[in-house]
Homo-oligomer: A and B are copies of this chain.
Amino acid sequence: MLSERRLEVLRAIVQDYVGTEEPVGSKALTERHRLGVSPATVRNDMAVLEDEGYIAQPHTSAGRIPTDKGYRLFVDKLAGVKPMTAPERRAIHHFLDGAVDLDDVVGRTVRLLAQLTRQVAVVQYPSLTRSTVRHVELLALAPARVMLVLITDTGRVEQRMVDCPAPFGEVSVADLRARLNSRITGRRFADVPQLVQDLPDAFESEDRGTVTTVLSTLLETLVEETEERLMIGGTANLTRFGHDFPLMIRPVLEALEEQVVLLKLLGEVNDSGMAVRIGHENAHEGLNSTSVVSVGYGSGGEAVAKLGVVGPTRMDYPGTMGAVRAVARYVGQILAES
């Protein structure tokens, strides 16, 4: 176990390096932080911290920079979550209020997060798996063509065109619509399949094929669209990554375009708590020198989706975590209200 002072030294190194983006030396440390000891002592402490793998020096005779392990310790033990100031909170509220629909909420959130953290923001659309059905609508567009519209409690709308095997009368459409809604409105997506299982039996044999087709399209929608959509923003902030960023920025941009990668990134969070993944802790190798701060958010007490930011490992963790948490809370509120 490291002594109290050595932890203090590590904290100071992280803070200085995050601020200056340059390796920090023993002398500068003692000047900027009242550690109460001389540079020589700090040097000894640094030697120990380096042996333990918390810091490293880019070249011999340069200052030290934190390693991923160092950041990890910093985040776990040395840093709290910096709460937002009152003005910041008001700004968040102001920014998110007045969104007209779900797209708008997500769009505003992503811009807000990017702006607050000055990093790349990623917001997942509220997931369907945990959502409930608010309403199902069937529209007969043509004799053998039906449009299926699914509305969720989070305000998400999915629609599908269904080509029916046989003509399907207005009356039957209305009938199916009514039966469907009475069975699944307010129910969770996961429960829908078994709730509609025997529905075709209630129809005339001539309509049964169509009903089956519609139902299977509905179930497909539930499954397919569970592969969530997401929105990203603030990519221009990548240019602040560092002097060496040309080599860095490429794989990050590529990773950001791969929805699958991003979803996995966010997905690795345990449901409700905030998660910080630092450097090599990220599975995707393009993101080996980035950190991801993510958290779940939801309309009720339960998390229905995740949001987060991607930035350099050298980031202001307390501030970023504070911003991410605050935004997640407010978005949850907004969703609950609508």
Residues of A within 8 A of B (CB): 100-101, 103, 134-135, 137, 139, 141, 147, 149, 151, 155, 157-161, 224, 229, 233-236, 238-239, 245-246, 249-250, 253-254, 256-257, 338
Whether the Cβ atoms of B160 and A137 lie closer than 8 Å is: no
Query: Which listed residue, B100, B135, B229, B250, touches A147 by the CB 8 Å rule?
Result: B135
Whether the Cβ atoms of A151 and B147 lie closer than 8 Å is: yes
Beyond A135-B139, A157-B149, A157-B157, is A239–B235 a contact (Cβ under 8 Å)? no
Whether the Cβ atoms of B229 and A103 lie closer than 8 Å is: yes
Query: Which listed residue, B134, B137, B161, B245, touches A137 by the CB 8 Å rule?
Result: B137
Which residues of chain B are within 8 angstroms of A245 by Cβ–Cβ distance? 246
Query: Which listed residue, B141, B151, B254, touches A135 by the CB 8 Å rule?
Result: B141
Query: Which listed residue, B229, B253, B256, touches A238 by the CB 8 Å rule?
Result: B253
Which residues of chain B are within 8 angstroms of A151 by Cβ–Cβ distance? 139, 147, 149, 159
A234-B257, A239-B249, A239-B250 known; 10 other A-B pairs, CB under 8 Å?
A100-B160, A101-B159, A101-B160, A103-B229, A137-B139, A161-B338, A235-B257, A236-B250, A236-B254, A249-B249
Closest residue of chain B to A255 (Cβ to Cβ) is B236
Which residues of chain B are within 8 angstroms of A239 by Cβ–Cβ distance? 246, 249-250, 253
Which residues of chain B are within 8 angstroms of A236 by Cβ–Cβ distance? 250, 253-254, 257
Closest residue of chain B to A138 (Cβ to Cβ) is B137
Beyond A157-B149, A235-B257, is A100–B224 a contact (Cβ under 8 Å)? yes
The 5 tightest CB contacts between A and B, nearest first, are: A236-B253, A236-B254, A239-B250, A157-B159, A235-B253
Distance between Cα atoms of A238 and B101 in the complex (Å): 32
Distance between Cα atoms of A253 and B238 in the complex (Å): 9
Q: How far is the CB of A183 from chain B (nearest CB, A)?
A: 16
Distance between Cα atoms of A57 and B157 in the complex (Å): 56
Which residues of chain B are within 8 angstroms of A160 by Cβ–Cβ distance? 100-101
Q: How far is the CB of A145 from chain B (nearest CB, A)?
A: 11
Distance between Cα atoms of A233 and B100 in the complex (Å): 25
Closest residue of chain B to A253 (Cβ to Cβ) is B236
Which residues of chain B are within 8 angstroms of A159 by Cβ–Cβ distance? 101, 151, 155, 157
Whether the Cβ atoms of B233 and A257 lie closer than 8 Å is: yes
Q: How far is the CB of A278 from chain B (nearest CB, A)?
A: 23
Q: How far is the CB of A234 from chain B (nearest CB, A)?
A: 7
**CB<8 Å pairs between A and B, sample of 27:** A101-B158, A101-B160, A135-B139, A135-B147, A137-B137, A137-B139, A137-B149, A139-B151, A149-B149, A149-B151, A149-B157, A151-B159, A155-B159, A157-B157, A157-B159, A233-B257, A234-B257, A235-B235, A235-B256, A236-B253, A236-B254, A238-B253, A239-B250, A239-B253, A245-B246, A246-B246, A249-B249
Which residues of chain B are within 8 angstroms of A256 by Cβ–Cβ distance? 235
Distance between Cα atoms of A235 and B103 in the complex (Å): 22
Closest residue of chain B to A149 (Cβ to Cβ) is B149
Q: How far is the CB of A219 from chain B (nearest CB, A)?
A: 14
Closest residue of chain B to A286 (Cβ to Cβ) is B236
